[in-house]
Amino acid sequence: MERRRFLKGLGAVALGSTVVSRATKAYSAEKRFVWRMVTSWPPNFPILQTGAERLARRVGELSGGRLTIQVYAGKELVPPLGVFDAVSQGTVECGHSASYYWAGKSPAFQWFTSIPFGLNAQGMNTWLYQGNGLKLWQELYAQFNIVPRPAGNTGVQMGGWFNREINSLEDFKGLKMRMPGLGGKVLKKVGGTVVLLPAGEIYTSLERGVIDATEWVGPAHDLRMGFQKVAKYYYGPGWHEPGSVLEFIVNKKAHDALPDDLKAVLDVACAELNVQMLTEFEHENAKGLQTLMKEHKVKIKHFPPEVLKGLRKVAKETIEEEASKDKMAQKIHRDFSAFQEKMRPWANISEREYYNFII
């Protein structure tokens, strides 16, 4: 009896070992993917580059190592503004950047990062996830063999650093300012001069008077750039970029080659980063602002309401002009505008009234 029980036990163990062995072999035999991700950010750049690296790590964790992403900062493999083309052409499988950098291909790209007086981060996420935003984004990028996903947000940016006070729209006349994108087009319309500069030249240009003002991101990164040493006034809010979305883009052929579970891994990792990056920006900007005010005695200024109203009027005209250049831009602009109007009454009675009271 004991011998039969012992032999039966051995058989069960052997069967269990066989099942485990087969499962292990099946798992290890599953196809593994090694991708390269290029970004528009400098090496070790806080929140942006470190966020892209976090995304890659998370994909590796969630996939059990079946999808590995090697990350290359701007210039390490392709130029910072070469990310889109590298992914589109299949030179690399994926990238992390911002869609408004590709406005030269179509003005429609700008709506998927941020437009002047547009939606904040909460509004952009709502449009993308609950409205037609992501569908339209995918439709636009399909023309370039790319699959996009939202993967981060800067939140409301600051209005910029100035060496003169802004009390009316007249004060923008003759002002030389570094401001790219639609914000720069608005600045031109109110009499300013737009000077496009790479990040590494902004500080010295401001210091030497080549420019009178610059926008960048927010307190965390502005403090790191040292603008408080060469500019008198720090203005808010960032009317030109109220909720800038960052993108994770994948070459369509590479995306199609993935099994469904790994496609889901990418979606989950991007959604996580979208939340993590926004909260990191909010936290670090809050700390950075305190440092600028308390340690560096920076003069925090607010654009007067009449200035913001004037800029909004010009921005509306500018955005309409941009949308009219391209059928896809018109389609996206109509949807974006309708969504913003739909959300406005609720935002007024909820977020706006609440913050007006507590602040």
Pair type for strands 33-39 and 94-97: parallel
Q: What is the pLDDT of residue 29?
A: 53
- Classify domain 160-242+299-358 by CATH architecture: 3-Layer(aba) Sandwich (3.40)
Q: What is the pLDDT of residue 24?
A: 35
For residue 2, is pLDDT > 60? no
For residue 11, is pLDDT > 50? no
For residue 269, is pLDDT > 90? yes
For residue 141, is pLDDT > 70? yes
For residue 16, is pLDDT > 50? no
For residue 28, is pLDDT > 50? no
Q: What is the pLDDT of residue 173?
A: 97
Mean pLDDT within 322-349: 97
Residues shown for the chain: 359
- Mind listing the pLDDT tens digit for each residue in 61-111? 999 999 999 999 999 999 999 999 999 999 999 999 999 999 999 999 999
Angle, to 10 degrees, between the axis of helix 133-142 and the axis of helix 121-129? 70
- Mind listing the pLDDT tens digit for each residue in 209-241? 999 999 999 999 999 999 999 999 999 999 999
pLDDT band of 18, cuts 50, 70, 90: very low
Q: What is the pLDDT of residue 55?
A: 98
Mean pLDDT within 262-269: 98
For residue 338, is pLDDT > 50? yes
Percent of the chain scored above 70 by pLDDT?
Answer: 92
pLDDT band of 353, cuts 50, 70, 90: very high
Report how far residue 47's alpha carbon sits from residue 114's, in angstroms, rounded to the nearest whole number: 18
- Mind listing the pLDDT tens digit for each residue in 270-310? 999 999 999 999 999 999 999 999 999 999 999 999 999 99
Report how far residue 150's alpha carbon sits from residue 316's, in angstroms, rounded to the nearest whole number: 25
Pull the structure tokens for residue 354: 């609440």
Pull the structure tokens for residue 253: 């052929």
CB atoms within 10 A of CB 48: 25
Mean pLDDT within 155-171: 97
Query: Which residue, 202, 248, 205, 249, is CA-closest to 221?
Result: 202
Percent of the chain scored above 90 by pLDDT?
Answer: 89
DSSP per residue, 147-161: EEEEEEE--S---EE
**Matching fold, domains 26-153+244-283 and 160-242+299-358:** yes
The residue ranges of every structural domain in the chain are 26-153+244-283, 160-242+299-358
Mean pLDDT (the chain, rounded): 92
For residue 14, is pLDDT > 90? no
Looking at the chain, the number of H-run helices and the number of E-run strands are 13, 11
pLDDT band of 30, cuts 50, 70, 90: confident
For residue 35, is pLDDT > 70? yes
> Is pTM beyond 0.75 here?
yes
- Write out the E strands in 158-298: 160-162, 176-178, 193-194, 213-214, 233-236, 245-251
The domain over range 26-153+244-283 is classified in CATH as 3.40.190.170: yes
Q: What is the pLDDT of residue 25?
A: 40
For residues 213 and 201, is the Cβ–Cβ distance under 8 A?
no
Q: Look up tokens 């994926």; give the residue.
A: 94
**Residues 71, 73, 79, 80: is their CA dihedral positive or negative?**
positive
Kindly state the DSSP code that residue 27 receives in the 8-state scheme. Answer: H
pLDDT band of 180, cuts 50, 70, 90: confident
Pair type for strands 233-236 and 213-214: unpaired
